[in-house]
Amino acid sequence: MKIIMLGAPGAGKGTQAEMICEKYNLPHVSTGDIFRANIKNGTDLGKEAKQYMDKGQLVPDELTVRILLDRVAKEDCKNGYVLDGFPRTIPQAEVLDQELTKLGDKVDFAINVDVPDENIINRMGGRRACVTCGATYHVQFAPPAKEGICDKCGSKLILRDDDKPETVKNRLDVYHKQTQPLIEYYSKKGVLKEVDGTVSMNEVFESIVSILK
């Protein structure tokens, strides 16, 4: 089972990816993690990627896909994997499909966790992070015992810049321009499945499990 997770930033697709991986014993493949691992281990692919990253440039799609295919060729991916954070654009999806086709492989499911922008802005605007230990809370869904204070270490909780409404709106604009077209792309390929991301985390997961059965 090769699964791609789609959805806007803050839609909860990362959480769902982890839950899918746990239930089906599949590796959670995040491009960010792969880059970091290759660079840390000093692989040839890692060195190549680092040259771009050191200059503040985006790693080219072709190299990103090569690094990704190197990861999914490993033994733990033989029964499938969940891709999180890739592809982000149509060209990336096309390169991935071409390379998988060469291997006699394909994407089985592209699951879109659908959440309206308004919900995401409210959801992310309610997040609070501890300045000391990094623990995260939500004023509505997971509040601390004492308002503004971390349960774990007693430090102050803050609204991170990433979660401020203006930042979230900018991230959503980028998502709509670059990543949302993937929904139509995978729909045309007949592998798109959509779930309502506005319900509880467990209800979203139940919908995904019923799709994967």
Q: Which residues does the annotation mark as catalytic?
A: 13, 88, 127, 160, 171
Alpha-carbon span 167 to 9, nearest angstrom: 11
Sequence-separated (6 or more) residues with CB below 8 Å from residue 127: 136, 137, 138, 159, 160, 163
Alpha-carbon span 113 to 5, nearest angstrom: 8
Burial class (CB in 10 A: 0-12, 13-18, 19+), 9: middle
Q: Provide the CB-side half-sphere exposure for 112 (13 A, CA).
A: 18
